[in-house]
Structure 1
């Protein structure tokens, strides 16, 4: 297990914590690899009633780490590994029959938003924001957001969000159906544990196989989308716009696209 992804199992529940709080839990190479493996490992277990996924500190997950993205520009060969792992994260979370509860303790952005949408049940702090701003850094939204957002909230609003990269407040995301519950500060743990207890006390085989059944359409969509999506992402990784976005972020300025 990576230091950037902590696992604690107690009373038939696996508690997973994305653990890069100083970087707002932005995903680097080590964390990305860990995320691509953990749900495969946990999915094999028969002693778990639920998985709780959350972030350390004040964010759930701020998306891709800027230095990691810069490495991907400088070494495009490494980006092939990133896209392969991205597919494994999506497939593994959908294939995992154990219900996953997203404890959205703060902003869920980019891959963070995808992780949240892949959870079966989500509870968000009312101060959190969620969205997929891949286009703002010159990348195609290929890590799952391209098919998950339309399924979660409908094509009308999803297309706008994916094309503009705008973030939703937790309350707006709840109104649109992307998040299951929104709670006030200080009430997050109580609500999550209430849901955990319901799953822990339920009929485990029925719950597991109910998830296995309702994820069939999403799994079909994922396998129809991810190969093309990640191929487009590899192309945008090589684009001048993406390189400009990375340098602009590092220099704390607004990127100038289309040069």
Structure 2
């Protein structure tokens, strides 16, 4: 089932499935093919009869840097590609919410943009204390449309969610624990032991009850996602065609600060 994947790596530890974002030379930032793989992987995991618990992590020093610059520029210049990408994003979020197997996020490093969104939709989030989390869509002239507008307010409330989504500011892992955004932040040497402890605890638990409880909890999140996703992806598309987004991409190429005009 997983042989067709290029940018996601799969390892089995009994009935625990470890999924690794595997583009470390680009900080696991999504290009087009990786984004497509992301959009279908959780549906494939749901069909995998040999796993009960999932560990999601990143190769190298980052969890995921979001979308890479080449991919963002391709989406801006090709409206058909951008529409397809947004549809993939919707499938990604919905498949995450549909998956009844518990997902532990091993947040080995920074999670940015879509990387942060995917991490925050996981069920138990265990971070290296040096990791940081941010959704900086607005810093590149985009609406936070890939699911961030769904999950951030549910975890930390609307006031704090607006603070971080409207600014794109970074949050350290210890800060994220304090505000309830993630579960744990530990020193590097304690990350794997704690992830393994939680994976073993969940895989040895009452599986049917655990999966049923996750389904019940996610029922409310699904209602929120149904209400928010269409609007958030529509605004991401419109801002993706904006002058500010074009300026942000140009500034990234030229390694300077963008000069936004609100257009």
Work out the CA distance in 2 between the residues paired with 1:229 and 1:154. 18
Aligned pairs for 1:41-190 within 5 A: 41-190=44-193
Match of 1:186, SS state, is: helix
Residues 127 and 170 in structure 1, CA contact (< 8 A), matched pair in contact too: yes
**Large movers: runs of 4+ above 4 Å:** none
Q: Deviations over 1:27-61 (max 9, x none)?
A: 11111110110100111234322000000000000
Shift of 1:10: 2.6
3-state SS of paired residue (1:141): coil
In the other structure, the counterpart of 1:22 is 25
Correspondence for 1:11: 14
Q: Matches of 1:212 and 1:151 in 2, distance apart?
A: 16
Provide the secondary structure at the position in 1 that maps to 2:166: helix
Asked if 2 retains the 8 angstrom alpha-carbon contact of 1:50 and 1:199, the reply is yes
Structure 2 partner of 1:245: 248
* TM-score of the aligned structures, taking structure 1 as reference length: 0.98
CA RMSD of aligned residues (A): 0.9
Q: How many residues align?
A: 259
> Taking structure 2 as the reference length, what is the TM-score of the superposition?
0.97
Distance 2:189 2:35 in 1: 29
1:132 Cα offset (Å)? 0.4
Tell me which residue corresponds to 1:209: 212
| Whole-angstrom distance in 2 between the partners of 1:101 and 1:230 | 26
Residue-by-residue CA offset, 1:17-36 (whole Å, 9 max, x unaligned): 00111111111111111011
Q: How far off its partner does 1:163 sit?
A: 0.5
Say which of 169, 194, 199 aligns to 1:196: 199
Unaligned runs of 5+ in 1: none
- Partners of 2:222 and 2:10 lie apart in 1 by 26
SS at match of 1:130: strand
The separation in 1 between residues aligned to 2:94 and 2:102, in whole angstroms, is 14
How far residue 78 of structure 1 moved from its aligned partner, in angstroms, is 0.5
For 1:34 and 1:8, how far apart are their aligned partners in 2? Answer: 16
Q: Secondary structure at the match of 1:119?
A: coil
Larger deviation, residues 102-111 vs 38-47: 38-47
Tell me what 2:237 maps to: 234
